[in-house]
Amino acid sequence: MREDESVPPRSRQAARLRPLLTAAALATVCLITAGCGDDGTGRAEPRPGTAAPSGAPSSAPAGTASASKSPSPAPTSGKPLPRGPLTGRTVVIDPGHNPRNRDHTREINSQVDIGTGRKECDTTGTATDAGYPEARFTLDVSRRLRTLLEAEGAKVVLTQDDDRPFGPCIDERARIGNEAGADAVVSVHADGSAVGNRGFHMILPAAVRGGAADTAEIVAASRDLGERIAGNFVRVTGSAPSNYVGGNTGLDTREDLGGLNLSTVPKVFIECGNMRDPKDAALLTSADWRQKAALGIAEGIGSYLKR
């Protein structure tokens, strides 16, 4: 579930996939635009009127919170990185939410500036009906993704590694990628929508300018990154694009997410599946499938960075 889904999203554009630049990606674009694999594993993202996320935080209290008073981002594994095709590249992985956010509802409900307005610091995320939390899913996939990227020589930073009491807030999540000078940032999520809503989708930044937000320099690069991840995700996992977001393209452009608005480096969100749909939940709770999800994302990032 994305960072601030408790606030109804504003304008959403269904984006059409441009042809991807690599031969492997080109082969997968046809799958996405044709809505291939309707029985594939997907994910979904809650929309107004859909099932509410588990443990959603209460309304925000008066006052504001500073996201700068929190611990530093999680470092890489600490082991010397092998030389590989991604040597010299920096990737920031943003595991959505935090397993302990639900114990800090006052803090995560405090408002932060996202450039075009104010939003909650963070949310608790959703969970499967059996109680498997989105925050645990995002951490697992992000750690697997880190291992894969480091094996290719990339420097990887996690915005959190279950090493802090809550958060980080959405503005700090953006700032971590910016300050790292990341070549790519991917925020990992899963959805909490209605039963029957299935299929993954990428969330891409819209052209936004206001306050501290100005995405003009990252819109095109972020779209390229998102398209490449989408193509590789289809190929590796067999998942289909969302059947209820993005017009069957697997892409959704948003202007109301602080994690994208405040980014100055290429960044996308990926919603990996709908935790409230039984078929998707069975995939999201499978360690084997989570490894495939991490691999699909890693290969998409690699395709983007090697272009």
Q: What whole-number distance in Å separates Cα of residue 93 and Cα of residue 273?
A: 18
Comparing CA positions, the residue from 240, 254, 137, 251 lying closest to residue 198 is 240
Q: Which residues are catalytic?
A: 271
CA angle 298, 167, 266 (to 5 degrees): 40
Residue 233: CB atoms within 10 Å: 31
Phi-psi category of 167—alpha, beta or left, where left has phi over 0 and alpha has psi -120 to 50?
A: left
What is the b/e burial string over 190-224, where b = at least 16 CB atoms within 10 angstroms of the residue's CB?
Answer: bbbbbbebbbbbbbbbbebeeeebbbeebbebbbb
- State how far the alpha carbon of 23 is from the alpha carbons of 37, 240, 267, in Å: 20, 20, 23
